[in-house]
Structure 1
Amino acid sequence: MKSHRGYRQILGIRFYAGDIHGALERMRHGGLLVVPAAPALKDLATNPSYREALIHADVAITDSAFMVMIWNLLERDSIRRLSGLEYLRGLLQMDEVRKPCETLWIMAGPANAKRNLEWLEEQGILVPEDYVYMAPMYGGEIQDEALLARLRELRPKHIIITVGGGTQERLGLYLKRSLEYTPSIHCIGAAIAFLSGDQVRIPAWADKLYLGWLFRCFSAPGRYVPRYWEARKLLPLMVRHRSQLPGHNDREVA
């Protein structure tokens, strides 16, 4: 087990293993935060661009309950899960994030943007139109000059990305490498959708009990049951590699 000042190296990724307050403090002065989930983590060996994004993130939080349970069992450790939902709740309490012109939101599309923005307004967070960006359908290599131009003009302190896992991390790394200043880039994915009602609402108690995945499966079994069933492949990957980064030629068989 490799640990250093509240971190654990799991599958070659430096995961933050502290509490919400420490995570927020680490992101206060800029950097890239990622929230890897099991359905995406299982592809570390075969998805080099996703793997690169996680390696070069400044903070990776332990959102995956499955990963945390496997790690604690294998290593006789006791790290806690810090979910993307818990992180977002804390992030939205920060005064600078709540200010109208300090945070730019990258939304997955007009429909979920509408719900998310309405919910944010109910929480007292008003987001000006210029500070909402609709993400296009990104391909294998991310290029988005329109987004870069917007960010260079507005220079927000915070960028919150709400697109899907596997894409948002690559987008976050692209922004980190392309911008001439250092904003705080938070890849929180679907977390806001659990609060706004754009996806099934996940209460705080269910999130703490590692049951968020179950709520999603009941809400849309055809969509989420296959996804979480595929996540089982994370188990042999972790048993084999533990703290080591899986190589790009590895293939894990469930």
Structure 2
Amino acid sequence: MTKTILGVPFFTGTAEEAVQRMLNGGLLVVPAAPALKDIGTHTAYRDALLAADLVITDSAFMVLVWNMLERDNLRRVSGLKYLRLLLRQPEVRQPGQTFWIMAGNKSANMNRNWLLSEGIEVPDEYVYNAPMYGPVIDDRELLERLEELRPAHIVVTIGGGNQERLGHYLRHRLSYVPGIHCIGAAIAFLSGDQVHIPEWADHLFLGWLFRVLDKPKLYFPRYMGATALFGLLARYRSALPPVEQPIEQNVLN
């Protein structure tokens, strides 16, 4: 149940089916257009996408362009919807079963308070504030804590481009196979750490607009840059673009 786009096998099932698959472990990534446009230059990011166990079609721009170019009916699987469904699973809600990797103290506090309001308690030792990662990720402190706690699920909430690399790093370094869910900013839309995106707006592919209206100086240039993905899709379609002037080292080096 996959469709190859830019060399990446994207899952073509539903969000519900994606959640059920990931309850058994593996790495899930949610590529956004601003990062996906760099698949030909960011080799570590590229490797993470290619090695993931499940890649979902969260990028509305990618889905719309693909369907236009290919006259296809590829469905979008929203990362926000995926997270909502994941958090309904009893095995994810149970304290001590899910480990959260956060973008910083402020985000961690807001996200944990929201989770608690939803009936999900996250013990202190199951929260990790990720540092600023460089071109090569080597986070021994995080690995040691995960090996000690051995949570069944790891939810990564840091930025796109970095979260996929970190998920790839953990998938290949841990001695067991948890579910590693790289859902980025999705929880921030629920907790108030970023602008709230209603379900109807997410369903209508308008999440990007809410972010732009909230912080235009930050997100307008980011989404304008993401339009370069159109050229990649038009040129390569299903093929993996060649590596051109790589600017990152392979995460497994």
TM range, normalised to the smaller chain? Answer: over 0.9
**Structure 1: any 5+ residue segments left out of the alignment?**
1-5
In 2, the alpha carbon distance for the partners of 1:151 and 1:112 equals: 20
Do structure 1's residue 24 and structure 2's residue 19 form an aligned pair?
Answer: yes
Please name the residue that 2:73 is paired with: 78
**Residue among 222, 229, 245 paired with 1:227:** 222
Give the superposed CA RMSD.
1.0
Bigger Cα displacement from structure 2, 55-64 vs 70-79 = 70-79
Shift of 1:250: 7.6
Please name the residue that 1:3 is paired with: none
**Residue among 105, 115, 120 paired with 2:115:** 120
Please name the residue that 2:164 is paired with: 169
CA contact (8 A) 2:189 2:196 kept: yes
Do structure 1's residue 63 and structure 2's residue 54 form an aligned pair?
Answer: no
Do structure 1's residue 9 and structure 2's residue 19 form an aligned pair?
Answer: no
**Residue among 216, 233, 238 paired with 2:233:** 238
In 2, the alpha carbon distance for the partners of 1:13 and 1:73 equals: 19
Where do residues 86-101 of structure 1 align in structure 2 (5 Å cutoff)? 86-101=81-96
Amino acid at match of 1:57: A
In 2, the alpha carbon distance for the partners of 1:16 and 1:75 equals: 17
**Residue among 179, 183, 186 paired with 2:181:** 186
Do structure 1's residue 129 and structure 2's residue 116 form an aligned pair?
Answer: no
In 2, the alpha carbon distance for the partners of 1:234 and 1:96 equals: 37
In 2, the alpha carbon distance for the partners of 1:71 and 1:245 equals: 15
In 1, the alpha carbon distance for the partners of 2:245 and 2:145 equals: 39
**Structure 2: any 5+ residue segments left out of the alignment?**
247-253
CA contact (8 A) 2:101 2:158 kept: yes
Please name the residue that 1:46 is paired with: 41
Corresponding residue SS for 1:96 = helix
In 1, the alpha carbon distance for the partners of 2:21 and 2:87 equals: 16
Give the % identical residues: 59
In 2, the alpha carbon distance for the partners of 1:28 and 1:185 equals: 10
After TM superposition, the score normalised by the length of structure 1 is: 0.96
**Residue among 80, 104, 114 paired with 1:109:** 104
After TM superposition, the score normalised by the length of structure 2 is: 0.96
* Structure 2 CA distance for partners of 1:120 and 1:224, relative to 1, 3 Å: same
In 2, the alpha carbon distance for the partners of 1:76 and 1:232 equals: 19
In 2, the alpha carbon distance for the partners of 1:30 and 1:175 equals: 12
In 2, the alpha carbon distance for the partners of 1:62 and 1:43 equals: 16
Shift of 1:121: 0.2
Amino acid at match of 2:189: F
Corresponding residue SS for 1:43 = coil
Please name the residue that 2:198 is paired with: 203
Shift of 1:26: 1.4
Bigger Cα displacement from structure 2, 24-33 vs 115-124 = 24-33
In 1, the alpha carbon distance for the partners of 2:11 and 2:110 equals: 31
Please name the residue that 2:250 is paired with: none
Corresponding residue SS for 1:160 = strand
Corresponding residue SS for 1:105 = strand
Shift of 1:21: 1.5
Corresponding residue SS for 1:106 = strand
In 2, the alpha carbon distance for the partners of 1:146 and 1:120 equals: 25
Where do residues 137-148 of structure 1 align in structure 2 (5 Å cutoff)? 137-148=132-143
Q: Which runs of 4+ in 1 moved over 3 A?
A: none
In 2, the alpha carbon distance for the partners of 1:34 and 1:250 equals: 24
In 2, the alpha carbon distance for the partners of 1:128 and 1:145 equals: 21
